[in-house]
């Protein structure tokens, strides 16, 4: 483990998360190096699952897929991401500090089941499949 746990709830969630991830994506699950969580390559797409403390006894699970890297940020791009976010039941589209565009869903780790995890991961993967090429055609950006 490269990064120390910030809470007992984060540590417990990290331990509970590995088995259902392995069931969903056998042989694809690796530990993240710069954050508490895991990374998988699913159908050629990199998916990250990160755990952030939620008080001392729980954690937030954040599942993320990047649509494009190093995208010039414009008002039009942000408006599109906002429209796409409004259509989602859970989660959001965003831009990180390096101008990489992503879609992310979060849930509380204490609600973790294989079904909840699978639905969240499939949702971000489906968003990537549905919007990645359209986004890159309109705004550019490449692989991370």
Q: Give the CATH number of the domain where residue 125 resides.
A: 3.30.1460.10
Q: What are phi and psi of 117, to 5 degrees?
A: -60, -45
Cα 13 from chain centroid? 16
Residue 3 lies in a domain: no
Residues 62-79: what's their mean pLDDT? 97
Per-residue confidence band for 139, with pLDDT thresholds at 50, 70 and 90: very high
Residue 77 lies in a domain: yes
In terms of residue numbers, what domain contains 118? 8-136
String of DSSP letters for the chain: --S--SSHHHHHHHHHHHHHHHHHSTTT-EE-SSSSEEEEEETTEEEEEEEEEETTTEEEEEEEEEEEBSPPP-HHHHHHHHHHHHH-SS-EEEE-TTS-EEEEEEEEGGG--HHHHHHHHHHHHHHHHHHHHHHHHHH--B--
Strand partners, 46: 41
pTM of the model: 0.94
Asked if the model's pLDDT at residue 8 lies above 70, the reply is yes
Average pLDDT value for the chain: 95
Rounded CA-CA distance 49/111 in Å is: 15
Residue 57 lies in a domain: yes
Per-residue confidence band for 1, with pLDDT thresholds at 50, 70 and 90: low
Q: What is the number of domains present in the chain?
A: 1
Residue 142 lies in a domain: no
Asked if the model's pLDDT at residue 58 lies above 90, the reply is yes
Residue 87 lies in a domain: yes
């Amino acid at each position: 483990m490269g990064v120390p746990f910030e809470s007992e709830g984060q540590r417990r969630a990290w331990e509970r998360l590995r088995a259902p991830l392995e069931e969903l994506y056998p042989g694809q699950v690796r530990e993240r190096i710069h954050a508490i969580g895991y990374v998988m390559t699913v159908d050629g797409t990199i998916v990250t699952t990160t755990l952030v403390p939620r008080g001392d006894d729980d954690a937030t699970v954040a599942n993320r897929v990047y649509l494009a890297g190093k995208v010039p940020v414009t008002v039009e791009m942000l408006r599109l991401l906002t429209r796409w976010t409004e259509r989602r039941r859970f989660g959001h589209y965003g831009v990180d500090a390096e101008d990489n565009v992503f879609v992310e869903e979060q849930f509380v780790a204490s609600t973790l089941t294989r079904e909840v995890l699978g639905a969240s991961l499939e949702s971000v993967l489906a968003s990537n499949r549905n919007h990645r090429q359209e986004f890159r055609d309109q705004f550019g950006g490449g692989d991370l």
